């Protein structure tokens, strides 16, 4: 089934488009904790499992989606759909992504007040917070690794002798990253200016 889905999507058939919408419906259904969590889930399904995009291309999409208005999960769904199927693909993958949330929020709005104070519900929400934080941390770590670290062909994670020569850290990127953190935590500069500076930095130095 997995191979069939991959073939249909890559061939850009009508069945492939239906499969892609189903994939994003599933992603929307299991994404709990906001768009940042969606980065990790979309990456695991679209990049790791279905291999529709390379990891580098996907995280370039993440950077663009994070820099543009709107929830990042929806932006990513639109971007991926448009990349594979054009504008129509972007529209209906976006619909597939938001449909589970739309259904869920309508049900919650209708019934949540009846059981929101129950101990089980409160306990569930208290455990969701650290779990969601962990998933967001994974997405952040993968983006940082991709942006700052290059693994040379001789690198083997299982062989410690290759670690020194196999990992190359971009000093320029790392310095810019630390500078951005310093500015964000010590000044009141709006993050949009940091994002804009990052775009200019990438054009000039990368």
Under a CB-based contact definition with an 8 Å cutoff, are residues 38 and 31 in contact? yes
**Distances from the Cα of 108 to the Cα of 9, 36, 59, 101, 102, angstroms:** 34, 22, 33, 10, 10
What integer pLDDT is reported at residue 35 of this predicted model? 67
In the structure, what pLDDT confidence band is assigned to residue 108 with cuts at 50, 70 and 90?
Answer: confident
Coil/strand/helix, residue 155: coil
Average pLDDT, the chain: 80
Q: Is the pLDDT of residue 116 over 80?
A: no
Give residue 65's pLDDT band: very low, low, confident or very high (50, 70, 90): confident
Query: pLDDT digits over 23-42, tens only?
Result: 889 888 887 766 677 788 88
Task: Select from 81, 100, 102 the least CA-distant residue to 18.
Answer: 81
What is the pLDDT at residue 33? 66
Cβ-Cβ contacts under 8 Å for 75 (sequence gap 6 or more): 35, 64, 65, 66, 68
Determine the Cα–Cα distance for residues 83 and 7; give it in Å rounded to an integer.
16
What is the predicted pLDDT for the residue at 164?
52
């Amino acid at each position: 089934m997995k191979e069939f889905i991959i073939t249909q999507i890559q061939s850009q058939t009508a069945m492939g488009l239906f499969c892609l919408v189903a994939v994003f419906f599933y992603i929307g259904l299991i994404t709990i904790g906001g768009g940042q969590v969606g980065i990790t889930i979309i990456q695991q399904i679209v990049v790791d499992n279905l291999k529709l995009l390379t990891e580098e291309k996907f995280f370039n999409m993440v950077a663009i989606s994070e820099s543009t208005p709107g929830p990042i999960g929806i932006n990513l769904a639109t971007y991926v759909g448009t990349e594979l199927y054009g504008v129509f693909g972007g529209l209906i993958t976006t619909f597939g992504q938001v449909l589970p949330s739309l259904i869920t929020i309508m049900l919650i709005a209708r019934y949540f007040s009846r059981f929101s104070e129950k101990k089980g519900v409160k306990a569930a929400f208290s455990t969701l917070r650290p779990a969601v934080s962990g998933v967001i941390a994974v997405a952040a770590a993968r983006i940082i690794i991709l942006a700052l670290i290059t693994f040379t062909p001789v690198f083997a994670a299982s062989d410690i002798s290759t670690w020194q020569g196999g990992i190359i850290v971009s000093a320029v990127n790392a310095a810019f990253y630390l500078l951005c953190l310093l500015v964000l935590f010590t000044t009141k500069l709006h993050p949009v200016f940091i994002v804009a500076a990052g775009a200019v930095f990438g054009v000039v130095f990368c």
